[in-house]
A and B are shown apart, each in its own frame.
Chain A
Amino acid sequence: MSVLELTAEDFDEMTAAGTVLVDFWAVWCGPCKMQAPIVDAFAEKRTDVRVCKVNVDEQPALAARFGIMSIPTLMVFKDGQAARRQVGLSSLEEIEELCK
């Protein structure tokens, strides 16, 4: 499944149902560039999880709302509720674990 880029307008709607993984990132961040192919691979593999991204530079309100203080940060939402988060680079195995 392809990875969706979220904005403040569609964030709540897109994370409302099921398990949703959100990758908070920015173009200036080297580790985020390493996280991207891993998140993409996870999206390929796990069609049961909706995989999204938020560019914190373009969406500062979302970054502030979820208290993102370091990127990459991955958050998992279950039926609209923030369930788990991992700060820093995550491996494919760690993402699997996070989405359990």
Chain B
Amino acid sequence: MDEKTWDILILGAGPAGISAALTAHARGRSVTVLGADPMTSPLAKAPRIDNYPGLPGMSGRDLLAAMTQSLAAQDIPRIEGRATGVMAFDGKFMVSAEQDVYTARSLILAAGAQQGTKPLLGESELLGRGVSYCATCDGMLYRGKRVAVLGLSGSAERDAAFLRQIGCQVLFFGPAQAKNCEIKGGTNVTGVVCGGEEYAVEGVFILRPTVAASVLLPGLAMTDGHIAVDENMATGVPGVFAAGDCTGRPYQIARAVGQGNAAALGADRYLKERDE
């Protein structure tokens, strides 16, 4: 376990998360950003951005690279990984990302729009009974068995390779097929139906770019698939803030950056009040 307790842990390394990190750092808070490779952000696919002030005609990739650079310029640590669980305990938050655990006094959720997080048929019913979101956590329990990897994230092939390496027989489905798969089973998973064909498997690893916020932190209030926040970007869970596309439309960079700033100020205020 990483023993350090951060003041603020930010989940998401896009414009909202980076903006929040810069503001939190400027307020003297110890802060770190946990998120996927920025280049896997949907923003990286934008060929040209004309509605973000000051950087005319920049591509999404270049803008993300420049934003990531501003973290490095302030020596703000960035950890590449995917949060798989959050737990409030003893006045702090523990966040697991694959095999590691990070601890912080407050959280800012900024992992982007929760697109494609609608559960697949059979997913919720069979979660923990053959359905898993974490290859490194549960892979070992499927050694020598046949499993399906539903690769809805850019890093899913890496997880599939890990599962093969530890001795699982892996059927890999890319995003186009995976999003329409159905999981079959009774007490436990018995198969997946993908592209109209049924495959017998004992485990199904569903790997999305981000784990749905409501799964990550049960008890989080949601509105229409977005995290509900107040004007200070506070969620319904004390100490947890949210910013950017995960809080709603419009999915715009300017909005994300502004909300990231407000969320960091909200978290800073929350920590100050806790310390009084």
Contacts and interface: CB of A to CB of B under 8 A. Distances in A.
Interface in B130-181: 130, 132, 134, 136-138, 140-142
A63 B188 CA distance: 15
| Range class of the B interface residue count | 20 to 34
Interface in A30-46: 30-34, 37-38, 41
A68 B87 CA distance: 22
A67 B84 contact: no
Given A26-B140, A87-B128, A87-B129, A33 B89 contact: no
B89 A91 contact: yes
Contacts of B128: 69-70, 73, 87-88
Interface residues of A, number: 25
B141 A31 contact: no
A69 B134 contact: no
A28 B99 contact: yes
B89 A38 contact: yes
A70 B88 contact: no
Contacts of B101: 30, 33-34
B141 A34 contact: no
B73 interface: no
Contacts of B127: 70, 87-88
A71 interface: yes
B13 interface: no
Contact of B137 (A31, A37, A38, A67): A31
Interface in A1-45: 26, 28-34, 37-38, 41
Interface string B55-67: 0000000000000
A75 B142 CA distance: 20
A88 to B, nearest CB: 6
Contact of A69 (B94, B98, B141): B141
A29 B87 CA distance: 15
Contacts of B1: 33
B203 A69 contact: yes
Interface in A56-70: 56-57, 63, 67-70
A83 interface: no
A89 interface: yes
Nearest to A28: B99
B122 interface: no
A70 B140 contact: no
A92 interface: yes
14 contacts: A28-B99, A28-B136, A29-B99, A29-B136, A30-B136, A30-B137, A37-B90, A37-B94, A56-B141, A69-B132, A69-B138, A70-B127, A71-B138, A91-B87
Interface of A: 26, 28-34, 37-38, 41, 56-57, 63, 67-71, 73, 87-89, 91-92
Top-10 shortest CB links A-B: A87-B128, A30-B96, A29-B137, A34-B94, A70-B128, A31-B85, A33-B101, A31-B96, A70-B138, A89-B85
Interface of B: 1, 84-85, 87-90, 94, 96-101, 127-130, 132, 134, 136-138, 140-142, 188, 203
